[in-house]
Amino acid sequence: MNKTYNIRGTPQGWNPKIGGDKIALLGLFIIALLIARIIVVSKSALVLSEPITLTDTGLSVSMPVGNGWKSEKQWRYHDNGFSLRSRFTLGTRNPTAEARCVYILANETIDLQSLFEQKAFDVEGEIVKVDQVTKDTLTFNWVHIENPKTSLIFIFGTAKLPNNRRLDIEVQQVMDDTEMAERTFKRIVKTLSFKDN
């Protein structure tokens, strides 16, 4: 009764399904990861409201809503201008992100560099990036500011309007996701509408 054994110590001709259960477990793990990814993407998708019009200005803006975002849905008069705000609150009482549009009525001529430096000073941050984005006839000069101590990311953009007026858009968040802040800012700019009346 001589049996020959292969290197693994199993009888020759014996064909176990080595690793079949491990492959099934790996497949189940990959499927679970894909489902989790789909859920995260659907929950973090940026949904914007219907355009919110500021009466007698020709300006309308869409703000983030849903998936944790709550918009005021109406412009409010504040300090010689009108503001519109949306906050992102998920699991805490304090908002972790905020988007704000400010329509400034009377505006003195500003130096962009000084304005950007003042914004950086206000949030105790450093300017990381300066850029421009254009929407129709408006050109937004914007700055990306970060405060590493508080994990604050602040995007501030401003555009000159006719009749010495100005539109500012701010997005700030206390999360380590630079892309979300910049993406939110650019989506708001992309969906705004302005007709000089």
Q: What is the mean pLDDT of residues 129-146?
A: 92
pLDDT at 49: 77
**Does the pLDDT at position 102 exceed 90?**
yes
pLDDT at 129: 92
Q: Under a CB-based contact definition with an 8 Å cutoff, are residues 74 and 52 in contact?
A: yes
How does DSSP assign 129-189, residue by residue? EEEEEEETTEEEEEEEEEETTTTEEEEEEEEEETTTEEEEEEEEESSS-HHHHHHHHHHHH
Q: What is the mean pLDDT of residues 124-132?
A: 92
pLDDT at 149: 86
CA 179, 184, 189, 191 torsion: positive or negative?
A: positive
Q: Under a CB-based contact definition with an 8 Å cutoff, are residues 64 and 71 in contact?
A: yes
CA 174 to chain centre: 11
Mean pLDDT for the chain overall: 81
pLDDT at 167: 92
Q: Under a CB-based contact definition with an 8 Å cutoff, are residues 60 and 76 in contact?
A: no
Band of the pLDDT at 30, cuts 50, 70, 90? confident
Q: What are residue 142's DSSP bridge partners?
A: 131, 157
97 — phi, psi (to 5°)? -150, 155
State the Cα–Cα distance between residues 181 and 158, nearest whole angstrom. Answer: 16
Q: What is the mean pLDDT of residues 7-32?
A: 67
- DSSP, res 49: P
Q: What is the mean pLDDT of residues 107-127?
A: 87
